[in-house]
Amino acid sequence: MQSDIILQRLRADDPNADAVAGWTFEAWGHLHPGLTLEQAIERLKAECGQGGVPSIFVAMQGETPVGTASLTADDMSIRREFTPWLASVFVLPEWRGQGIASALVRRVEAEAAAHGFERCYLYTPDQQALYRRLGWQDKEDVEYRKEHVTVMARQLDKPQN
């Protein structure tokens, strides 16, 4: 990842919150029929925490947001027994291939581990190879919201003191 990319916690009052919500709405809004962009913005702002679950992180290049990832308690209604979840990993197309998604994933993993979680989960329809490279393991393949997805899990590293 470029040295000028900074990962920071997204706050509800951050001027970039609307843009980040727009990215995630554009990418995954179809999974939530009836959800409007305005509702997506409000949901995102409600998940901007002070640490732990939930948390949203944004990759910044100077003053420009270029990617995001979230740590959430529940990202899959058919697997509520799994928690927490890595969710909404997104990097702007022109910034892909530079390790930003990997850095965001690692930041979310570190947040979960720092708050006492030993394992984290995610689901993806098409990014299994990325997550496998980062140490995630396939748990199951399921149909979810009319998509074939792979549920994956990762044992988290203990936080460094």
| Residue 148 maps to a domain | yes
Compute the distance between CA of residue 101 and CA of residue 69 in angstroms, rounded to an integer.
8
| Residue 91 maps to a domain | yes
Number of domains in the chain: 1
**Average pLDDT of the chain, as a whole number:** 92
| Residue 48 maps to a domain | yes
pLDDT confidence of residue 160: 66
Please name which of 83, 66, 62, 61 lies closest in space to residue 74, comparing C-alpha atoms: 83
Over 70: is that where the pLDDT of 2 sits? no
| Residue 160 maps to a domain | no
| Residue 30 maps to a domain | yes
Residue numbers of the domain that contains 84: 5-155
Strand positions, DSSP E, 18-158: 55-61, 64-72, 85-91, 119-124, 137-144, 147-155
Compute the distance between CA of residue 151 and CA of residue 122 in angstroms, rounded to an integer.
6
User: In this predicted model, what pLDDT tens digit does every residue of 45-81 receive, in sequence order?
Assistant: 988 877 889 999 999 999 999 999 999 999 888 898 9
CATH number at residue 54: 3.40.630.30
Mean pLDDT of 88-93: 96
Contacts of 9 (CB under 8 A, 6+ apart): 48, 51, 55, 56, 57, 58
| Residue 70 maps to a domain | yes
Over 80: is that where the pLDDT of 94 sits? yes
